[in-house]
Amino acid sequence: MKHSLFLAAALTVGIAGLSGCSAAYGPQSASAQTAAQTDYFADNGLGNAVAVVQHPAGEYKDGITYVSYQGPLEDPYVASYDHETGEWSGPFKAGISAMGKDPTRKIDNHGKPTLIIDDAGYIHIFFGGHGGTPELGENPLGNHHYGENKHVVSKRPYDITEWEELDTIPPFGTYNQVVKMDNGDIYLFYRHGAHRSDWVYHKSTDNGRTFSEPVSFLKHKRRTDMQAVDSWYPYVTKGQGDEIIVSFDYHLCWDGAGAPDARGHTANRQDLFYMVFDTGDGSWRNIEGEQLPMPLTREVAEDKALVAKSGDLWSFNASVALDDQGHPHIGITMGEDLGVSKVGGPKQMRHYRWTGSEWIGGKSTKLPIGNGDLVVDNSDNVRFLLASQNRNGDGMIAWWESDDAGASFTQTRELLVRDRASFAISSFIRNAHPDARVVVAERARGTDDRRMYLLGDNGPVTRSASQR
């Protein structure tokens, strides 16, 4: 059934009367197709308006792509595109973040929205958290920092104009990731607080109207051999059947004064791990089928779930996908610790895969310094869609493809290039249409405002000036 679009920009939207907010569009882009078209659909993105880790940022359903991103004052915004008519709706503000309202604080970026559509057609957005604050109460599974994790749902199926807030989840979450199973069950994963917190999941069996209590699956734990705490960064997505697959790296969270140099706390992330969650019986196992005790600790992860050691390199986890044999392929960025930066040096995308008997990969394959998502067509053909810089130093999003199971990669097609800019990119939109695979924010120099693009195999999806 084709869903109707809601095009009236003057409609009242939001939580108990939140005003509708259409983007104010700037001057014509140099690469727009005609004087009446722009290749960006909005220009009110803010900061790192999308990211791979908070996912999915959008979903394709019955001819329409729905997308979300971080907009003014770090609030969540939603727009939709009808592939048959070429019409856009929105963007509309879907909620109010607890972050972004204090002008003395820098943009936090941890509360950008995650979007999923339930089996009844209602659109759910999770956003706004970076661990919560002490005023919100005790965090039993970690520590506090900022913001408040929130859950809003559309007031009508497939309608992005009006939203209501639900009291379904704790306020302490950040890095929301949502997976919907074939039977309609919804799993919400996030870190239950700031750096020193467990990663948890909630399960909903009633289209996201209620969620179970949080269940820890990655445990934070103080180390006894150094002044630091074990922490984690996973990427969670649907696997085969009732399974959810998880790739993750380790975060060594120094105490500050206990750090080995003057930098104090750093974004030191190391190594690469993988495990599988069987939602049918609630068990977790490693790649070899051995059951794992939950929540997983560093010691057990290193013994039972290790894909590769990163050595002296710092990592930043990307995404994971299965090939036609059910074997996982993982993308992860790695770069040198420069000794002067809290985030380490530039990180090159690397590829690992399970052969059926061992993990291989991680060597230099000419993949660029950048970030993005991967799709595995079969065991030999692996493709990354990556945001990086071209040889002229301009921002670029391009396909990088391998026909030898990831042993080597070649850049094939540039989908978007901008002078003196860089890009923040989402992971693949859920059930993505080939013309609308990812949401992209253009990070132009000298401003925190972002032009937002819906990007697919034919480049950006354009928007007519008459729709604004």
State the Rg of the chain over Cα: 21
Catalytic residue among 175, 201, 274, 352: 175
| 127: β partners | 150
Residues contacting 140, CB < 8 A, separation 6+ = none
Task: State the number of CA atoms in the 13 A half-sphere of 413 facing the CB.
Answer: 7
Strand (E) positions, 370-437? 370-376, 382-389, 395-402, 410-418, 421-425
Is the separation of the CB atoms in 125 and 57 below 8 Å? no
CA dist list (Å): 274 to 236, 285, 302: 10, 9, 10
Question: How many CB atoms are located within 10 Å of the residue 285 CB?
Answer: 16
Distance CA 13, CA 94 (A): 8
Please say if 175 is a catalytic residue. yes
Question: How many CB atoms are located within 10 Å of the residue 68 CB?
Answer: 31
Residue 41 token pair = 């659909």
Distance CA 185, CA 207 (A): 7
Distance CA 285, CA 291 (A): 4
Strand (E) positions, 193-302? 199-204, 215-218, 221-222, 228-238, 243-254, 269-278, 283-285
Catalytic residue among 110, 145, 202, 220: 110
Nearest partner of 439 among 36, 48, 22, judged by Cα: 48
Please say if 110 is a catalytic residue. yes
Nearest partner of 193 among 151, 114, 139, judged by Cα: 139
Active site residues: 110, 175
